[in-house]
Every structure is written in structure tokens, then in C-alpha cells.
């Protein structure tokens, strides 16, 4: 990821930031993106998708950031204004100092495109089978984020299942979020937390977690609740009908696009999707795909 450091006597001087700048009066966000990258870096934008709209209040000013993912460009990214530039791996960004308003952008840069959700064993006896199934998928590569979820299991069976999956994830470099009651999560090794929407609606503040904090949402109201906590990302859907929730009304690509347009955090799409759908989902601003069968099988 290309980042630059703010220098001189400017707001938030000394912090790292992503290339960009201010919209001129009457200028569109996309127009400002193209002009600023051309003026600052000699980069011509070929393809870009708006992925976030971040609003943040500093003590001295309010900012609104229109965030784009630039997928194709021309030029060598040279600093025309003598600003310090640095290429950084996404994992390195968490250790650098950015303005608070850029936190969601850093999250989008660090998060992968695929978010695997564990299948729900139909009985405690099926725990070993499903755990091996997930472990085999992790071993094939391409999955760096795993949600452990099994609403059909009791506490003891769930904890057994979760520990097996956490061991497999650690062996294959995947980060884990646990979707379970807080008391159950406390009995497990440190991990992130995924909130079902019913739990999200009961919270007034961000819950404790040792990693990513995420939530499931189905509409604008849920999205706004999640952003207010705040969470690091959301999972929205279902996009298509699924066997897991056959009675749920799909929101479709248009519904996903509407949520992404309002989102100040990355959005994963859920429901009846496979990796081959990534292109059309990312074209409307989604971070990627969350799923069980579509990613597991």
C-alpha cells in the first residue's frame, strides 16, 4: 500500500496518510481523486471504486473522507511535492500512526477478500468431522479470516469445536472471530468477536475483543448501529437465497450497493455467493465475501 507522511505546519503533521486531498468547490469526489493523484504523484486513474464514506469529528474540525480503491492506473507514483512516500505491506499498517479518521481505511487495507464461517455441526458427535472439514479448507490456502459459529451446540461441545478450529487457524495463519455468548468466549484463548444482529441491538458500546470486532447487519438501521459502536467491519445480507436461511428476504446487489454507499467500515457480502462473485461485489464497494458452503466446498 502506498502511504505518505504529513509534513510541515499542517493539521495532524507527522502522521501517515493515504494519498488524496481536498475537493475543490463544485468538484466531485471522483474528480478530486483523479486531480490529486495526478498533481501529487503523476498517477492517472484508470479504474476506481468508492468503498467507504468516513465522517469524523476532531476537536478543531469535522472531516468527511470519500475513500476509493484504485484498481488500475498509469504512472510510477513519484512524489511531485517532495512528500515522504513509503510502500508498506497491509499487515504493517497497524503499527503506524495514522489520523483517527483513517482507522477504517487501514482496516479495509488489512482485511482479506474472503471470510469463512464455520459450519454448524448437527450434534456433538459431528464436531470432529466438521472441524476436520474446516482444517482441510484452511490447508488449501486463500482463507485468512475465520468466524467460529455453531448455534446448534451446547456450551461444552461448542468450546471443544472452537478450540479445534482455533488450533487449525493458528497453524495456517488465519485470524479468528468467535460468535458466541461472552461467557463462552472468556473460556477460550484470546480472539476477535463477531456479533449477531440480535446481540448488536442490545449493546451501547463496543465489546471487548482481542482482535477484530464485527457484526452481522441486514438493513440500514443495523448498519448504523454497528458503525456507532464502532465495529471494524460488517457482514451484510443475504444477497441471494440460501439453504441456511431459506425464509430470509435477499437484499440483492442493489441492496448491498446501498449499504456500501452509507458505510464507514468495510462490508462483506453474505448469502448464496462463491469466490467467482467477487468482481461484481467489489464493483459496488464490498470488501469481499463471507460464507459457509460457498467458501468451504
pLDDT band for 3, please (50, 70, 90 cuts): very high
pLDDT averaged over every residue in the chain:
93
Helix (H, G, I), strand (E, B) or coil at 58: coil
pLDDT 10s digits, 49-63? 999 999 988 888 899
Q: Kindly report the length of the chain.
A: 297
pLDDT band for 8, please (50, 70, 90 cuts): low
pTM of this prediction? 0.92
pLDDT 10s digits, 124-145? 999 999 999 999 999 999 999 9
Q: Hey, what domains does the chain have and what are their CATH numbers?
A: 2-101 (3.90.79.10), 111-296 (3.20.20.70)
At residue 69, does pLDDT exceed 80? yes
pLDDT 10s digits, 176-205? 999 999 999 999 999 999 999 999 999 999
Q: Give one DSSP letter per residue of 164-201, joined into a string.
A: HHHHHHHHTT-EEEEES-HHHHTTSSS-EEEE-HHHHT
Provide the pLDDT for residue 78.
84
pLDDT 10s digits, 195-231? 999 999 999 999 988 999 999 999 999 999 999 999 9
Q: What is the mean pLDDT of residues 157-175?
A: 98
Q: Are 117 and 147 in contact (CB under 8 A)?
A: yes
Burial 126-143 (b: 16+ CB within 10 A, else e): bbeebbeebbebbeeeeb
Q: What is the mean pLDDT of residues 163-171?
A: 98
Rounded CA gap, 156 and 165, in Å? 14
Rounded CA gap, 59 and 193, in Å? 30
At residue 170, does pLDDT exceed 70? yes
Amino acid at each position: 500500500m502506498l502511504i505518505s507522511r504529513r509534513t510541515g505546519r499542517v493539521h495532524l503533521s507527522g502522521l501517515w496518510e493515504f494519498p488524496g486531498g481536498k475537493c475543490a468547490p463544485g468538484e466531485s469526489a471522483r474528480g478530486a481523486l483523479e486531480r490529486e493523484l495526478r498533481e501529487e504523484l503523476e498517477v492517472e486513474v484508470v479504474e476506481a471504486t468508492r468503498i467507504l464514506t468516513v465522517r469524523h469529528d476532531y476537536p478543531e474540525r469535522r472531516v468527511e473522507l470519500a475513500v476509493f480503491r484504485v484498481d488500475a492506473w498509469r504512472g510510477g507514483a513519484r512524489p511531485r511535492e517532495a512528500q515522504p512516500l513509503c510502500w508498506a505491506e497491509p499487515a504493517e499498517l497497524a503499527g503506524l500512526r495514522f489520523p483517527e479518521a483513517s482507522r477504517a481505511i487501514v482496516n479495509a487495507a488489512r482485511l482479506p477478500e474472503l471470510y469463512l464461517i464455520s459450519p454448524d455441526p448437527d450434534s456433538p458427535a459431528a464436531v470432529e468431522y466438521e472441524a476436520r472439514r474446516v482444517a482441510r479448507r484452511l490447508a488449501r490456502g486463500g482463507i485468512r479470516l475465520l468466524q467460529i459459529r455453531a448455534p446448534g451446540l451446547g456450551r461444552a461441545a461448542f468450546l471443544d469445536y472452537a478450540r479445534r478450529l482455533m488450533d487449525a487457524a493458528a497453524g495456517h495463519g488465519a485470524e479468528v472471530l468467535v460468535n458466541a455468548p461472552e461467557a463462552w468466549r472468556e473460556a477460550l484463548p484470546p480472539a476477535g468477536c463477531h456479533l449477531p444482529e440480535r446481540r448488536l441491538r442490545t449493546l451501547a458500546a463496543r465489546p471487548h475483543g482481542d482482535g477484530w470486532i464485527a457484526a452481522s447487519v441486514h438493513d440500514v438501521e443495523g448498519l448504523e448501529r454497528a458503525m456507532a459502536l464502532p465495529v471494524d467491519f460488517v457482514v451484510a445480507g443475504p444477497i441471494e437465497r440460501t439453504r441456511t436461511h431459506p425464509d430470509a428476504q435477499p437484499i440483492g446487489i442493489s441492496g448491498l450497493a446501498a449499504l456500501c454507499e452509507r458505510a464507514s467500515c468495510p462490508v462483506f457480502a453474505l448469502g448464496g455467493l462463491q469466490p467467482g462473485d467477487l468482481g461484481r461485489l467489489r464493483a459496488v464497494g464490498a470488501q469481499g465475501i463471507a460464507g459457509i458452503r460457498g467458501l468451504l466446498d
